[in-house]
Structure 1
């Protein structure tokens, strides 16, 4: 055990998860690569849990942060803040939500917590619809709507949560149906559920479930849900903490794969926009955002240095068409992984879109999750110079692959080759 690991264990909570049998200290990064405290170099296919969105040590972001730090770091929301206004203007326009207002937080958890406050206040209801296998954060209210048992440490909650089918396409009672029949069955289930309860405040849903193993429904499910919800005045909250900013390649926001009924009423974001800086936020129509009848502030939400980072990062993303790069390079990567998976009995499914890909592992010949295999691949890829993530919901285990969106074709091939060796080693 390293000295730093021993110190970590002596002063930090036991439930603070660490990867690897011998935990890794990352000391610096550049582009799509990082280095550990022993000088080992790794290709980063997880980006600090999808947070390093463009690149490590991106010069444009580094310069913006340095220049802002030389002026002022922070003043709170009690004072006008030019970088905050500028970034809010950009995000409001990109969100697709009409007459949008933006509130900045420090994390996705806090963003979802705020969205729940807005929805329950606006609708005068503390009932929330959430998806099975979902994850929305670590706060008391966010845990209360998380449908993933492994990340829900308590059943106590300030909310009444009702869980809906549909977030996982290839498991559950509707898995064998066609896409159209799957959507119809989920809509029927939602409609039936709403007939047995007082009208909820909102449905909150990740377009692609992140912690749940990068699972998703057929395109159009949430549009069909939206039609049912809108008839009853129920709001739709799109949790874009992991799917936003072009990561899925096909769309800038994950909700746009389900956009036939228009944008969500509330959108939450975080992670990639700051490229490592602590930025989260909520976008909502003005009537929803302004429904609170008391004063509020955010001491650290929207602070000048994080807004400078976010503006520089967003500009780089748009100017270099990283959404298009995610679509092109991600398309090559997923096909490469599917070709490998066809020859590896432990792989049940390769799924996802853009640079948000999941590889579900099972015990060969069964649908039973193989948690040991996932851990073994995590260790093997690290030893070979690649960092990936893992996740999954009830009785599932998946590898999570989410590199910075500037990933090159050569780097995608390098990472795929390492993954191939690790996956093939499971059968040896």
Structure 2
């Protein structure tokens, strides 16, 4: 471990800027699905910089596009015409499914969600927002204010009035014992009851699969059922696709499509994977919503030529190589392999997910009490054996998070599953 770098980190960066592992590592380079640390150790990467390395480390098409663009111009701001930004916006607007779509680029998912909240509250003339319990939407003042996960919400102060809705976690809460149809009906009834006690909110913002929350999700169709209620009240639906977008879930290109019988959301937000490590985020919205602001605005660093070049190259590679299909096929195999491996581990409460977005929830054996020490122990054991994974979840960090690049091969999936099986079986 680079103790000198760790000491320097601790002397100049915030205490709340957490590092993984008892002995934090410095990742120096990567290729494909593997990364190397400063001591020369190789790791199979099953977390991709928090779901950001979407296609592969050092993807040649992206590095080539970035290098060529850097040789021309890196940045000019949104005050000037920007060909790569227009080209990427055109492709995203078409892929979004939102009619008459407009796209605004940001530098992160936090900023994207912040922008969506600004648009929704301005358009609807309301500062009340519906959010899901166990949710996470970023670290800005407004997005922290709608985050339904106590571990990631450091303040109760907020410019918004937030009302939290049931439904984001299928296997916990007051409706967990119901069948899927009854679960959806109960959540819809709860939403209708909530709306009967408040002035109409501006929007519901929801992750189709909750990321930081531990890769939890409702039954397919919940948000479609919510949409019927929202439409009756004129309330907008914002789908937070920061972690679920671009084919990550395998079955669909966007997470909202599992709930899309009533059409696309009014807005969707995106980030992370589209840039494959470059800082790209954004909002897609119907023109009437996007254009509702009546004051000047711009984005100094949103949509820079170099990040847009990376996004275009990455999106083209993703589509041409059907990485969504690969996420479905390899992810389906991986989740079944992990379920089989976990069947004899008493600390495993649930293995869940879809595509290459898989969560393993750990609890005290025989209970529903979270076991964060077991989560940390598996994280460490996997790292020692050459595998990087993530952690998260509500209920006091209860889940391991597994989200490799979408180009993961069957052999690599089996390699990672074998390491995880040994790490899980090492729990006392």
- Tell me, in whole angstroms, the C-alpha distance in 2 between the residues paired with 1:119 and 1:95: 18
Count of equivalent residues: 427
Which residue of structure 1 lines up, in the alignment, with residue 313 of structure 2? 312
- Tell me, in whole angstroms, the C-alpha distance in 1 between the residues paired with 2:121 and 2:171: 32
Is residue 151–residue 396 contact of structure 2 (8 Å, CA) maintained in 1? no
Give the aligned CA root-mean-square deviation in angstroms.
Answer: 0.6
How much has 1:394 moved relative to structure 2?
2.5
Q: Which whole-Å deviations, capped at 9, do the CAs of 1:283-302 have from their partners, x for residues lacking one? A: 00000000000111100000
Which residue of structure 1 lines up, in the alignment, with residue 379 of structure 2? 378
Q: Secondary structure at the match of 2:340?
A: helix
The TM-score with structure 2 as length reference comes to: 0.99
- Tell me, in whole angstroms, the C-alpha distance in 1 between the residues paired with 2:382 and 2:49: 16
How much has 1:341 moved relative to structure 2?
1.2
Gaps of 5+ in 2: none
Which residue of structure 2 lines up, in the alignment, with residue 255 of structure 1? 256
Q: Which whole-Å deviations, capped at 9, do the CAs of 1:285-338 have from their partners, x for residues lacking one? A: 000000000111100000000000000000000000000000000000000000
Which residue of structure 1 lines up, in the alignment, with residue 345 of structure 2? 344
Q: Secondary structure at the match of 1:137?
A: coil
Do residues 154 (structure 1) and 155 (structure 2) align?
yes
Which residue of structure 2 lines up, in the alignment, with residue 102 of structure 1? 103
Which residue of structure 2 lines up, in the alignment, with residue 93 of structure 1? 94
Q: Secondary structure at the match of 2:209?
A: coil
Do residues 360 (structure 1) and 361 (structure 2) align?
yes
Which residue of structure 1 lines up, in the alignment, with residue 330 of structure 2? 329
Which residue of structure 2 lines up, in the alignment, with residue 139 of structure 1? 140
TM alignment of 1:287-298, pairs within 5 A: 287-298=288-299
Q: Secondary structure at the match of 2:350?
A: strand
- Tell me, in whole angstroms, the C-alpha distance in 2 between the residues paired with 1:396 and 1:208: 17
Do residues 405 (structure 1) and 406 (structure 2) align?
yes
Which residue of structure 2 lines up, in the alignment, with residue 265 of structure 1? 266
How much has 1:236 moved relative to structure 2?
0.1
Q: Secondary structure at the match of 1:261?
A: coil
Do residues 246 (structure 1) and 247 (structure 2) align?
yes
Q: Secondary structure at the match of 1:260?
A: coil
- Tell me, in whole angstroms, the C-alpha distance in 2 between the residues paired with 1:259 and 1:168: 19
Is residue 368–residue 395 contact of structure 1 (8 Å, CA) maintained in 2? no
Gaps of 5+ in 1: none
Which residue of structure 2 lines up, in the alignment, with residue 78 of structure 1? 79
How much has 1:395 moved relative to structure 2?
4.1
- Tell me, in whole angstroms, the C-alpha distance in 1 between the residues paired with 2:188 and 2:262: 15
Q: Which whole-Å deviations, capped at 9, do the CAs of 1:364-383 have from their partners, x for residues lacking one? A: 11111100000000000000
Q: Which whole-Å deviations, capped at 9, do the CAs of 1:164-194 have from their partners, x for residues lacking one? A: 0000000000000000000000000000000
Is residue 249–residue 355 contact of structure 2 (8 Å, CA) maintained in 1? yes
Do residues 232 (structure 1) and 246 (structure 2) align?
no
How much has 1:17 moved relative to structure 2?
1.1
TM alignment of 1:107-122, pairs within 5 A: 107-122=108-123
Is residue 54–residue 317 contact of structure 1 (8 Å, CA) maintained in 2? yes
- Tell me, in whole angstroms, the C-alpha distance in 2 between the residues paired with 1:174 and 1:127: 25
Structure 1 residue runs of 4 or more that deviate by more than 6 Å after TM superposition: none
Do residues 64 (structure 1) and 65 (structure 2) align?
yes
- Tell me, in whole angstroms, the C-alpha distance in 1 between the residues paired with 2:300 and 2:137: 22
